[in-house]
């Protein structure tokens, strides 16, 4: 057991060091990512200190119950801190973050109360009932952390699908893979901390899962955009004269939905601005999103959202994808000597895989197959 604790101590210290140096591996300096990175770094340091204390005082060696109590006292706030860091990255509202902090503090105070009430039993090595109570709170903490992370990740995916024009698969891939490993740890941990035998069996895989989570977190930093282009940040823009002091497209309770409809004049203004943006090649930026578009056009994001929903009957993502798709088709015919990868990058697709996916959805063919058929049709017309 001491060897496992020593390995955990070394690995968590190394992870803390890697997280501290991860700033060198990100493309942008982002406040939310930096906050979450340092939170995780402190959690890793706390883990290392915890394992050292376990070894130095032989807490796990004295009894499995004593080791479990010490684990619960550390792992509970650590789970809350890790879940907070993930919520912070996904752009969760401040009200949700505050609520999470209050719930976390309340659960941990109850946990400390149970610990204090069972202290005499702990001293006499008879702490079964107290351990059951602490374990119940620990399980509730794990469940709460998992559920709140899942809900926020789903919300973030909806935001990405509606407001970004780039391929967000790298973003979600790193987030989901890393968080899935956390789920596995959170589900397994309450079952194994009460038994040294189970810890010896499950400890190494859980340590590897933690390592991969940190790797995914660092990889996420490479794709995480700065606040100026983050879809959750609303820029200062010209407000819609028809709906003063409103920044979203949904009406408040009791408000007539017709008041949120754009006027014909406003529609014409937005349409002209979008056409000008496309003619200037704005769609060629693979990192374009609603916030960036709103800032460049100086049109409120809520107005743009209503324009796409009400007038074009589509989303920003679908509209931009269609613009790029048509440009790719034009370039493939006009410049057949260019590779598909070069055309894909030129037209704003972030990867060849993204272009391949769009072509399969719209034509049922790969880009190469469509290009071949288009060239054959063109040759037939010429002949």
At residue 124, the pLDDT reads 59
Task: Give the residue-averaged pLDDT of 97-106.
Answer: 94
Question: What is the rounded radius of gyration, in angstroms, for the C-alpha atoms of the chain?
Answer: 27
Task: Give the residue-averaged pLDDT of 334-344.
Answer: 86
Contact yes or no for 200/1 (Cβ under 8 A): yes
At residue 12, the pLDDT reads 95
Is the model more confident about 380 or about 170? 380
Contact yes or no for 224/218 (Cβ under 8 A): no
Say whether 226 sits in a helix, a strand or coil. coil
At residue 315, the pLDDT reads 86
At residue 90, the pLDDT reads 82
At residue 227, the pLDDT reads 40
Handedness of CA 244, 247, 249, 255 (dihedral sign): negative
At residue 29, the pLDDT reads 75
Task: Please state which of the ranges 37-41, 238-242, 277-281, 343-347 shows the lowest mean pLDDT.
Answer: 238-242
Contact yes or no for 79/52 (Cβ under 8 A): no
Cross-strand bridge partners of residue 164: 289
At residue 27, the pLDDT reads 67
Structure tokens at 253: 């309770």
Give the whole-number percent of the chain exceeding pLDDT 90: 32
At residue 236, the pLDDT reads 37
Residue whose tokens read 């578009």: 293
Domains along the chain?
2-229 (1.20.1070), 259-382 (1.10.10.60)
Spell out the residues 6+ positions from residue 282 whose beta carbon is closer than 8 angstroms to its own. 288, 293, 296
Is the model more confident about 359 or about 42? 42
At residue 169, the pLDDT reads 60
pLDDT at 8 exceeding the cut of 50 = yes
Q: Give the model confidence (pLDDT) of 39-82 as tens digits.
A: 999 999 999 999 999 999 888 877 888 888 889 999 999 999 99
**Residue 313 phi/psi, 5° resolution?**
55, 40
Helix residue ranges, H only, the chain? 2-21, 31-57, 59-62, 64-89, 94-117, 119-123, 128-163, 169-192, 196-223, 264-279, 290-297, 301-306, 316-334, 340-346, 352-363, 367-382
Q: Give the model confidence (pLDDT) of 243-270 as tens digits.
A: 444 334 444 444 444 557 889 999 999 9
At residue 168, the pLDDT reads 62
Look up the pTM and report it. Answer: 0.73
Contact yes or no for 375/336 (Cβ under 8 A): yes
At residue 170, the pLDDT reads 60
Handedness of CA 173, 38, 226, 285 (dihedral sign): negative
At residue 156, the pLDDT reads 80
Give the whole-number percent of the chain exceeding pLDDT 70: 84
Say whether 100 sits in a helix, a strand or coil. helix
Task: Please state which of the ranges 152-161, 304-313, 363-372 shows the lowest mean pLDDT.
Answer: 152-161
Contact yes or no for 112/143 (Cβ under 8 A): no
At residue 292, the pLDDT reads 84
Q: Is 256 exposed, middle or buried (0-12, 13-18, 19+ CB in 10 A)?
A: exposed
Cross-strand bridge partners of residue 238: 299
Task: Please state which of the ranges 160-169, 200-209, 223-232, 371-380 shows the lowest mean pLDDT.
Answer: 223-232
């Amino acid at each position: 057991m001491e060897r496992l604790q020593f390995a955990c101590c070394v690995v968590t210290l190394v992870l803390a060091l890697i997280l501290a140096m991860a700033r060198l591996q990100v493309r942008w300096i982002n406040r939310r990512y930096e906050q979450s990175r340092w939170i995780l770094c402190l959690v890793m340091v706390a883990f290392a200190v915890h394992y050292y204390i376990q070894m130095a005082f032989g807490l796990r060696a004295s009894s499995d119950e004593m080791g479990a109590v010490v684990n619960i006292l550390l792992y509970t706030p650590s789970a809350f801190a890790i879940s907070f860091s993930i919520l912070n990255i996904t752009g969760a509202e401040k009200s949700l973050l505050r609520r999470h902090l209050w719930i976390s503090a309340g659960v941990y105070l109850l946990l400390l109360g149970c610990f204090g009430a069972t202290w005499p039993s702990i001293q006499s090595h008879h702490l079964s009932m107290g351990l059951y109570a602490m374990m119940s709170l620990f399980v509730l903490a794990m469940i709460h952390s998992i559920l709140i992370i899942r809900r926020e990740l789903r919300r973030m995916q909806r935001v990405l699908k509606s407001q970004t024009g780039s391929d967000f698969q790298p973003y979600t891939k790193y987030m989901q893979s890393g968080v899935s490993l956390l789920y596995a740890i959170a589900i397994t941990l309450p079952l194994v901390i009460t038994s040294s035998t189970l810890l010896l069996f499950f400890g190494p895989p859980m340590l590897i899962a933690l390592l991969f989570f940190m790797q995914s977190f660092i990889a996420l930093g490479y794709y995480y955009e700065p606040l100026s282009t983050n879809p959750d940040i609303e820029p200062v823009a010209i407000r819609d004269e028809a709906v003063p002091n409103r920044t979203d497209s949904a009406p408040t309770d009791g408000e007539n939905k017709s008041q949120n409809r754009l006027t014909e004049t406003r529609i014409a203004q937005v349409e002209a601005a979008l056409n000008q943006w496309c003619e200037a090649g704005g769609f060629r930026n693979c990192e374009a999103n609603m916030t960036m578009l709103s800032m460049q056009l100086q049109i409120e994001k809520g107005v743009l959202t209503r324009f796409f929903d009400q007038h074009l009957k589509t989303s920003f993502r679908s509209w931009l994808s269609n613009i790029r798709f048509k440009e790719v088709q034009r370039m493939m015919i006009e410049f057949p000597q260019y590779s598909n990868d070069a055309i894909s990058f030129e037209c704003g697709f972030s990867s060849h895989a993204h272009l391949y996916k769009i072509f399969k959805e719209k034509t049922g063919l790969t880009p190469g197959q469509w290009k071949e058929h288009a060239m054959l049709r063109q040759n037939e017309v010429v002949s």
